[in-house]
Amino acid sequence: MLKLLTASQIKLQQAQDHLSRQGDDTGDAVQTAAIVAGGVVVAGIVIAAITAFVNSKVGSLG
């Protein structure tokens, strides 16, 4: 059965759809920021490990 909507119901539905899309965009931005932050943490750990390795090798030379 076909349901007829009033103009106010249509506007309400459009507003809800718009807010839903905004929430999706915000969620995507937060997810991207979390991935970038995780990458920075991993890179920092790798650099710290390499630095410790090099320092131990240099220390054994002297």
How confident is the model over 14-58, as pLDDT tens digits? 888 887 777 677 778 889 999 999 999 999 999 999 999 999 999
Q: Looking at the domain assignment, is residue 37 inside a domain?
A: yes
Nearest in space to 11 (alpha carbons), one of 23, 3, 19: 19
Q: Looking at the domain assignment, is residue 48 inside a domain?
A: yes
Between the alpha carbon of residue 26 and those of residues 35, 36, 38, 48, 54, the distances in Å are 14, 15, 18, 33, 42
pTM above 0.85, yes or no: no
In this prediction, residue 9 has a pLDDT band, given cuts at 50, 70 and 90, of: confident
Domain that holds residue 23: 8-62
Q: Looking at the domain assignment, is residue 42 inside a domain?
A: yes
Output DSSP code: residue 50. Answer: H
- Look at residue 2 in the predicted model and tell me its pLDDT: 65
Q: Looking at the domain assignment, is residue 2 inside a domain?
A: no
In this prediction, residue 1 has a pLDDT band, given cuts at 50, 70 and 90, of: low
Q: Looking at the domain assignment, is residue 1 inside a domain?
A: no
* Number of domains forming the structure of the chain: 1
Q: Looking at the domain assignment, is residue 13 inside a domain?
A: yes
